[in-house]
Amino acid sequence: VFDNNYYLDLQNNTTLLTSDQSLYSNSADTEDIVDSFASNQTVFFENFILGMLKMGQLDVLTGSEGEIRTNCSIANADSSYYQQIIESIVGPEEQSQSSQST
């Protein structure tokens, strides 16, 4: 069932991952969001829909245009190492074809 129980679990300190629990336990900013979503499933659904719509508008980089980041919030200084990894998995031909089709 897709519902807001995840946020109720955060309030009850019964989440599986400590990193998830920190959303409620370690931040006043996100604690308010957790409380809002836990107390009102409709608010959670509305915000989930808005988040999915925003994600759908992102221009995803594929093939040689994208990169596998070592730190998700920072672009790699030199992506040639990761480029070699990608090419060894998908091959340079497939990678260039996927970048041309986007």
Contact 48, 80 (CB under 8 A): no
29 is in an annotated binding site: no
Contact 88, 68 (CB under 8 A): no
90 by Cβ neighbours in 10 Å (0-12 / 13-18 / 19+) ranks as middle
Which residues does the annotation place in the binding site for Ca(2+)? 3
Which residues does the annotation place in the binding site? 3
